[in-house]
């Protein structure tokens, strides 16, 4: 029996939370990232209204401002986003079926054992959308098919607040008109390796067949063929574990004052420890990132003997790393600092952590 799999994707998640909490922002281009008039940085995410201007994630905030000077630019509240994510994930877990969270705003459900066919799957998708809307105050798009890869492609097909069902017999017709970059593993850079062979649409992959695809691209070609034929064997299973947490600060003007830079490192350390305390994570590795003018980047890490969550000890290690950098970097003698970042990785969750029940949110 084929599996029936959902991919649930929260629509423009960070921006949607801001619009939910400030209804006057509805219908406006909302950009999460930084204040372009005071800071440098990149776009974290943006509303669909902002995307009409060509704005997208990872775009420099200065570029976004040129494209949309009248947009609403916000720093974002990541604690608030994490809280909303937890509410949604608890809703999905409540269905007592195979569940896999893959990011703060995406998850899979294998609903094979609670839905007998795709008609029931559609009804369940409508129900999930409504519960999320009422409970978390935001919308989601749901893709449904027999594999994780097709379900994920489908969830992006009809955004926002869409439901797209792709039954196995319809997979080829559904995928054929799409650009090959819709396939997981083919990105904006790697697509050119396919373009030179005239492979632009997924229909072109069906046309050339498995043998030639494998000859041209080896194991990657076989993987792509399996995806578009609905043969992705990956199962839905809960394995989401946050690997790291970090924050960065991009200065509006490059800094040469070490005291001011250290002050920002202290602040980042404090803010991250608030998150770690709330989510009950300990870390094994501390990393300091320094980017100089000219985009010259230095990183230095320290792995501890035992996992910890100690703001004072972390601050001591970060100061030591920064002193090493300032004492030993010849680049710093010539350049000022553009960005600092602090990251804690190799996370372990406290054994004493207690999962919040969905009933506490309703």
**CB 47 within 8 Å of CB 55:** no
- Identify the CA nearest to 101 among candidates 239, 298, 222, 5: 239
Residue 177 burial (10 A CB sphere; 0-12, 13-18, 19+) = exposed
Catalytic residue among 86, 106, 315, 317: 106
Joined tokens for residue 185:
């593993």
User: Which bin fits 138, alpha (ψ -120 to 50), beta or left (φ > 0)?
Assistant: beta
Residue ranges of alpha helices (H) inside the chain are 13-21, 48-51, 61-67, 78-93, 118-136, 148-155, 171-175, 191-195, 202-228, 258-279, 311-328
> What are the C-alpha distances in Å from 347 to residues 19, 265, 283, 334?
32, 20, 4, 36
Q: Look at residue 224 and give its three-state secondary structure.
A: helix
**CB 33 within 8 Å of CB 43:** yes
277 in active site: no
Q: How far is the C-alpha of 155 from the C-alpha of 161, rounded, in Å? A: 9
Q: Look at residue 298 and give its three-state secondary structure.
A: strand
Joined tokens for residue 138:
């935001």
Residues 6+ apart with CB under 8 A from 334: none
Helix 78-93 × helix 13-21 angle, to 10°: 100
Tokens 């970097």 belong to residue: 329
Active site residues: 106
């Amino acid at each position: 029996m084929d599996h029936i799999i959902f991919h649930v994707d929260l629509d423009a998640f960070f921006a949607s939370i801001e619009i939910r909490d400030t209804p006057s922002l509805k219908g406006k281009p909302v950009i999460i990232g930084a204040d372009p008039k005071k800071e440098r940085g990149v776009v974290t995410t943006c509303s669909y209204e902002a995307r009409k201007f060509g704005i997208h994630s990872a775009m420099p905030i200065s570029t976004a401002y040129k494209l949309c000077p009248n947009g609403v630019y916000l720093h974002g509240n990541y604690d608030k986003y994490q809280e909303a994510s937890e509410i949604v994930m608890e809703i999905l877990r409540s269905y007592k079926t195979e569940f896999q969270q893959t990011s703060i705003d995406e998850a899979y459900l294998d609903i094979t054992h609670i839905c007998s066919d795709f008609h029931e799957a559609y009804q369940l998708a409508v129900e999930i959308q409504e519960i999320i809307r009422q409970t978390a105050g935001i919308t989601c798009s749901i893709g449904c098919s027999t594999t994780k890869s097709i379900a994920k492609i489908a969830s992006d097909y009809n955004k926002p607040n869409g439901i797209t069902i792709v039954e196995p017999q319809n997979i080829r017709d559904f995928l054929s008109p799409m650009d090959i970059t819709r396939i997981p593993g083919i990105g904006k850079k790697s697509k050119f390796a396919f373009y030179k062979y005239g492979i632009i649409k997924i229909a072109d992959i069906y046309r050339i067949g498995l043998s030639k695809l494998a000859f041209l691209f080896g194991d990657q070609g076989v993987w792509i063929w399996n995806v578009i034929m609905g043969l992705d064997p990956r199962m839905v299973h809960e394995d989401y574990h946050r690997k790291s947490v970090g924050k960065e600060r991009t200065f509006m003007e490059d800094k040469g004052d070490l005291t001011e830079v250290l002050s920002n490192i202290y602040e980042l350390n404090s803010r991250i420890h608030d998150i770690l305390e709330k989510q009950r994570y300990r870390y094994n590795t501390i990393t300091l990132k320094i980017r100089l003018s000219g985009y010259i980047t230095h990183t230095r890490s320290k792995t501890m003997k035992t996992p910890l969550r100690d703001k004072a000890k972390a601050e001591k290690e970060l100061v030591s790393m920064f002193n090493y950098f300032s004492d030993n970097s010849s680049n710093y003698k010539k350049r000022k600092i553009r960005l600092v970042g602090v990251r804690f990785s190799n996370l372990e969750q406290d054994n004493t952590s207690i999962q919040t029940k969905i009933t506490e949110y309703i």
